[in-house]
């Protein structure tokens, strides 16, 4: 149980060579505090520490403090509410949350759900709901609250008391499809805006995503203020998270950003119930100490909320510090064991470990010891911590609140190793829970798991509604609409692409030129948020540094080395570019904040996040999935894309898979354009759908760094529709097509060259189709197939692949710079023999020509498959010999 190594460095009393002298210094500091106040004492202490450094002394950094509350009892502000009523409200919510989960699992044991997490966090939520979480309304846009996902039942229980949810709603927890079939509302397992768009604001179900998104959301609020797009407001971002969640890299990845930018609009509440799913978070250590060191070291204001008010009398009585020493030498695994047992056990194993501790509770009953609360279960202490956090300036704040997992579940779950999985309680446990919280529920209603809602004129509901009215309304609630924003005509910002006249440029250069022009539009320009991780120069965006500036909350406190150049590195407080540094997770979090501004701030913004395409869906796919859930609107631009087009970078950088991952996201519209005019048509379409039509979708475009002669947009009218639907005929056959060649992205040019060679060398007539999106084609095909199966009416061209390729049985060969699974998405709807060529396997470093030959996607390989599919074996044999077929026994994906 005891481990002196957990005492703060240098403070272990066993290492004190002169205790009397140490006591004198302590007494002197205490006298200074009493005589001159805490501010003066702090100044003197800091001065002494600075002087110690000049003497070469190694002082304790004090990022770990005693295992006690940061806020002493005599510094707590008065509790402003009716404590007894608020405690009763919390108890009712505990019951309804528990009943919701247990009822669902009694009916269907496979549904799952969680009781213990909310049991530990209920009071943390209630104090926020009653006193701090401000709703959007006439007084402003309100606070934002990222909620611990496993506590969702408790949030539903609160909404039930508020009257937003009904008995039927609670009865359909985790039964969304069943509820819809009955004309009812189902409740999602965790916070999911996609499933409950008028309720949940932020998806937090994947551990780690909530904390990083909350930080960048708080930062984006400051960005909007500094750019004068929204008025300044004392608006907070609150995040209630779990201690186990802090092990996720994303949870702690942006802590220094929050401190560096002085985000005092941000408060984290970490529910330290000391347990994760299988066991203790830090069985042999103390997670609160570890997190204190982490957050304080990152520059946060740390408030430890460890012990409830019941402990205050014992701490006052403990003049020798016996309790503090015992706390310092007790690890979390033992604290969990204490939580799982009663007062008699805690007397025997904690207080009786030495005479000093035993004397403190000598006149206490075991029942009194059992009622000793941890800080996170004491509303007065929680209010004091929240109050200090809300009024702190210059730093973000984290509150480390110690709780008991499964609090109040008794022997059925409190502090048990298995409590996270506890989804059912027997009759005895249900009755014990009711009695533990003094709930006015009969035995019959208790055993029937009946939801309990007091009368409308009850003290509880009157108080609850009054508190929410004072805070502006109910929360969580999600705003679904914002003012429409009409994008400018495409000719105003992309004429160079529509009428390129053969000029050479890459598609990356094209989209940057379009972005540069759009930024000058008086309506849409200010709403655009260019985002990069750290590759703006690679993507040709350096001209934007001076034009619109890089956002910095501090402005620019230095003279940049390149200030004499036209494209110097300019940081500004009102800068528009978000240059995030080498953190794709951070950049996508900024993109999500910007892309949901229409809902969060009532202000539609249009983010363009431009990045190495390999480091998008593959690296941060979970964050992109959460952004989709959150109904983010914006553009993801996968630059330097394509496994053979990004030549020299090699295996880790060459993207051959992002389009297959993008295809799995339901509201992602993914395109792989070849030419600049295709990019322009897609960007205009995306802006119209997201800004004007307000569709909850986002667009993913892959662009390359390969310079190509750019043709004009075909004027036949069919090209624009085909670009958006996924394919259009770029080059018709001279007479009757013997073979159809489909080229996507950079492989379109290879398909065009293959068609020329087939005609010139083999007298084979081929037509060439540009495929801008295999995933859009597959989506159309699935929808048309389903409609036919259900006997529903469909448009003649509902299946766009058949509409384009029907009427001929000429073979089809498709080539992509991605894995073959991308073009394979449309096989079911190709009405002819179909072959796919792709870049399956690990990438290599070499020239584009050699890479395309290695992966067998070059014009030569397209020609070979065209000849083979036509049965022209003599001609194919000649080409096979040229390609060295006999030396290519091992396919590229096996090398």
Q: Same structural domain for residues 276 and 232?
A: yes
Beta bridge partners of 269: 240, 399
Beta bridge partners of 729: 769
Residue 615 maps to a domain? yes
Residue 518 maps to a domain? yes
Domain endpoint, select from 680, 710, 740: 710
What tens digit of pLDDT does each residue of 567-603 get?
A: 899 999 999 999 999 999 999 999 999 999 999 999 9
Judge whether 146 and 241 are in contact, CB under 8 Å. Answer: yes
Does 3 show up as a binding residue in the annotation?
no
Q: Same structural domain for residues 831 and 807?
A: yes
Residue 597 maps to a domain? yes
**Cα 695 to Cα 190: distance, rounded to the nearest angstrom:** 23
What tens digit of pLDDT does each residue of 470-520 get?
A: 999 999 999 987 899 999 999 999 999 999 999 999 999 999 999 999 999
What tens digit of pLDDT does each residue of 171-206 get?
A: 999 999 999 999 999 999 999 999 999 999 999 999
How many percent of the chain have pLDDT more than 90? 83
Between strands 739-744 and 766-771, the pairing is: parallel
Does 692 show up as a binding residue in the annotation?
no
Judge whether 754 and 862 are in contact, CB under 8 Å. Answer: yes
Domain enclosing residue 234, as ranges: 83-308+373-471
Judge whether 275 and 281 are in contact, CB under 8 Å. Answer: yes
Per-residue pLDDT, 82: 95
Q: Which residue has the tokens 């966090």?
A: 121
Q: Same structural domain for residues 516 and 605?
A: yes
Query: pTM for this one?
Result: 0.94
Q: Is 37 helix (H, G, I), strand (E, B) or coil?
A: coil
Q: Same structural domain for residues 450 and 506?
A: no
Q: Same structural domain for residues 270 and 133?
A: yes
Q: Same structural domain for residues 380 and 502?
A: no
Q: Same structural domain for residues 562 and 654?
A: yes
Per-residue pLDDT, 3: 44
Supply 139's token pair. Answer: 């007084």
Average pLDDT over residues 91-101: 95
Closest CA to 641 of 571, 578, 705: 705
Q: Same structural domain for residues 669 and 531?
A: yes
Residue 27 maps to a domain? no
Q: What is the 3-state secondary structure (H, E, C) of 329-357?
A: CCCHHHHHHHHCCCHHHHHHHCHHHCHHH
Assess whether pLDDT exceeds 70 at residue 61: no
Q: What is the 3-state secondary structure (H, E, C) of 462-486?
A: HHHHHHHHHCCCCCCCCCCCCCCCC
Domain endpoint, select from 405, 439, 471: 471
Q: Read out DSSP for 149-169?
A: GGGHHHHHHHHHHHTSS-HHH
Q: Same structural domain for residues 456 and 497?
A: no
Backbone CA torsion sign across 633, 638, 642, 645: positive
Residues 6+ apart with CB under 8 A from 462: none
Per-residue pLDDT, 5: 41
Q: Same structural domain for residues 557 and 699?
A: yes
Backbone CA torsion sign across 730, 734, 740, 741: negative
Q: Same structural domain for residues 431 and 553?
A: no
Residue 485 maps to a domain? no
What tens digit of pLDDT does each residue of 432-453 get?
A: 999 999 999 999 999 999 999 9
For the chain, how many structural domains are there in total?
Answer: 3
**Cα 533 to Cα 510: distance, rounded to the nearest angstrom:** 20
Q: Same structural domain for residues 566 and 527?
A: yes
What tens digit of pLDDT does each residue of 675-729 get?
A: 999 999 999 999 999 999 999 999 999 999 999 999 999 988 899 999 999 999 9
Which CATH number do you get for residue 688?
Answer: 3.40.50.970
The order of strands in the sheet holding 301-305 is 144-146, 237-242, 266-272, 397-402, 301-305
What tens digit of pLDDT does each residue of 161-172 get?
A: 999 999 999 999
Q: Read out DSSP for 614-675?
A: GGSHHHHHHHHHHHHHTT---EEEEES--TTTS-TT-TTT--SSHHHHHTTSTTEEEE---S
Q: Is 691 helix (H, G, I), strand (E, B) or coil?
A: helix
Closest CA to 648 of 843, 817, 838, 842: 843
Does 275 show up as a binding residue in the annotation?
yes
Residues 6+ apart with CB under 8 A from 750: 743, 815, 852, 857, 858, 859, 862
How many percent of the chain have pLDDT more than 70? 98
What tens digit of pLDDT does each residue of 287-311 get?
A: 999 999 999 999 999 999 999 999 9
């Amino acid at each position: 149980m005891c481990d002196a190594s957990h005492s703060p460095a240098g403070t272990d009393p066993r290492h004190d060579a002169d205790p009397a002298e140490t006591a004198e210094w302590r007494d002197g500091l205490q006298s200074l505090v009493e005589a001159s106040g805490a501010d003066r004492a702090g100044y003197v202490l800091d001065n002494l520490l600075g002087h110690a450094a000049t003497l070469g002394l190694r002082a304790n950094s004090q990022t770990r403090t005693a295992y006690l509350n940061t806020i002493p009892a005599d510094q707590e502000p008065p509790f402003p509410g009716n404590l007894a009523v608020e405690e009763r409200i919390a108890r009712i919510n505990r019951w309804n949350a528990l009943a919701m989960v247990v009822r669902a699992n009694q009916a269907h044991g496979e549904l799952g759900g969680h009781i213990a997490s909310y049991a530990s966090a209920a009071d943390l939520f209630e104090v926020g709901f009653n006193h701090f979480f401000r709703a959007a309304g006439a007084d402003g846009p309100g606070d934002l609250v990222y909620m611990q996902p496993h506590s969702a039942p408790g949030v539903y229980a609160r909404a039930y008391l508020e009257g937003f949810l009904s008995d039927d709603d609670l009865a359909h927890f985790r039964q969304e499809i069943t509820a819809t079939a009955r004309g009812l509302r189902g409740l999602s397992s965790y916070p999911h805006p996609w499933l409950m768009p008028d309720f949940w604001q932020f998806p937090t179900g994947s551990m780690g995503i909530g904390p990083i998104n909350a930080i960048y959301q708080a930062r984006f609020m400051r960005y909007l203020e500094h750019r004068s797009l929204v008025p300044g407001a004392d608006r907070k971002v609150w995040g209630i998270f779990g201690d186990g969640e802090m092990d996720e890299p994303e949870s702690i990845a942006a802590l220094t950003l929050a401190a560096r930018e002085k985000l005092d609009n941000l408060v984290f509440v970490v529910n330290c119930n000391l347990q994760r799913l299988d066991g203790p978070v830090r069985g042999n250590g103390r997670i609160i100490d570890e997190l204190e060191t982490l957050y304080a070291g990152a520059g946060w204001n740390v408030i430890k909320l460890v012990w409830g008010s019941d402990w205050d009398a014992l701490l006052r009585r403990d003049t020798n510090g016996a309790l503090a020493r015992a706390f310092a030498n007790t690890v979390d695994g033992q604290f969990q064991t204490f939580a799982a047992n009663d007062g008699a056990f805690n007397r025997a194993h904690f207080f009786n470990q030495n005479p000093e501790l035993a004397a403190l509770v000598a006149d206490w009953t075991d029942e009194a010891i059992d009622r000793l609360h941890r800080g996170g279960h004491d509303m007065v202490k929680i209010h004091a911590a929240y109050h200090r956090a809300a009024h702190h300036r210059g730093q973000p704040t984290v509150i480390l609140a110690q709780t008991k997992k499964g609090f109040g579940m008794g022997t059925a779950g409190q502090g048990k190793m298995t409590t996270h999985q506890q989804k059912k309680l027997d009759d005895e446990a249900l009755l014990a829970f009711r009695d533990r919280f003094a709930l006015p529920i009969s035995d019959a209603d208790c055993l029937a798991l009946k939801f309990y809602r007091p009368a409308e004129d009850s003290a509880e509901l009157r108080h609850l509604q009054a508190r929410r009215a004072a805070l502006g309304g109910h929360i969580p609630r999600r705003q679904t609409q914002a003012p429409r924003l009409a994008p400018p005509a495409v000719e105003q910002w992309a004429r160079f692409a529509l009428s390129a006249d053969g000029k050479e440029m890459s598609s990356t250069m094209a989209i940057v030129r379009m972005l540069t022009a759009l930024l000058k539009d008086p309506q849409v320009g200010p709403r655009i948020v260019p985002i990069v991780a750290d590759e703006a120069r690679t993507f040709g965006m350096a001209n934007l540094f001076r034009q619109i500036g890089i956002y910095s909350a501090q402005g620019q406190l230095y003279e940049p080395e390149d200030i004499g150049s036209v494209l110097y590195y300019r940081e500004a407080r009102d800068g528009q570019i978000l240059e995030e540094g080498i953190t794709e997770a951070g950049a996508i979090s900024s993109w999500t904040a910007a892309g949901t501004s229409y809902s969060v701030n009532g202000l539609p913004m249009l983010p363009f996040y431009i990045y190495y395409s390999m480091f998008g869906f593959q690296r941060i796919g979970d964050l992109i999935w959460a952004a989709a859930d959150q109904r983010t609107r914006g553009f993801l631009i996968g630059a330097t894309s394509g496994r053979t087009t990004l030549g020299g970078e090699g295996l880790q950088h060459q993207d051959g898979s992002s389009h297959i991952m993008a295809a799995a996201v339901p509201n992602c519209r993914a395109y792989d354009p070849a030419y600049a005019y295709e990019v322009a048509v897609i960007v205009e379409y995306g802006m119209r759908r997201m800004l004007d039509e307000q569709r909850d979708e986002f667009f993913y475009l892959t662009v390359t760094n390969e310079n190509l002669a750019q043709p004009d947009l075909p004027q036949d009218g069919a090209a624009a529709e085909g670009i958006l639907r996924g394919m259009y005929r770029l080059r018709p056959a001279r007479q009757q097509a013997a073979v159809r060649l489909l080229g996507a992205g950079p492989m379109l040019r290879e398909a065009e060259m293959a068609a020329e060679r087939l005609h010139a060398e083999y007298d084979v007539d081929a037509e060439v189709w540009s495929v801008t999106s295999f995933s859009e084609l597959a989506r159309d095909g699935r929808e048309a197939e389903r409609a036919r199966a259900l006997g529903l009416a469909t448009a003649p061209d509902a299946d766009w692949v058949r509409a384009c390729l029907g009427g001929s049985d000429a073979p089809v060969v498709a080539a992509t710079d991605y894995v073959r699974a991308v073009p394979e998405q449309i096989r079911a709807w190709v009405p002819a023999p179909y072959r796919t060529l792709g870049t399956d396997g690990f990438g290599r470093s070499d020239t584009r020509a050699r890479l395309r030959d290695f992966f067998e996607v070059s014009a030569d390989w397209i020609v070979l498959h065209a000849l083979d599919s036509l049965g022209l074996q003599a001609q194919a044999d000649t080409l096979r010999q040229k390609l060295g077929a006999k030396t290519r026994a091992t396919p590229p994906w096996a090398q």
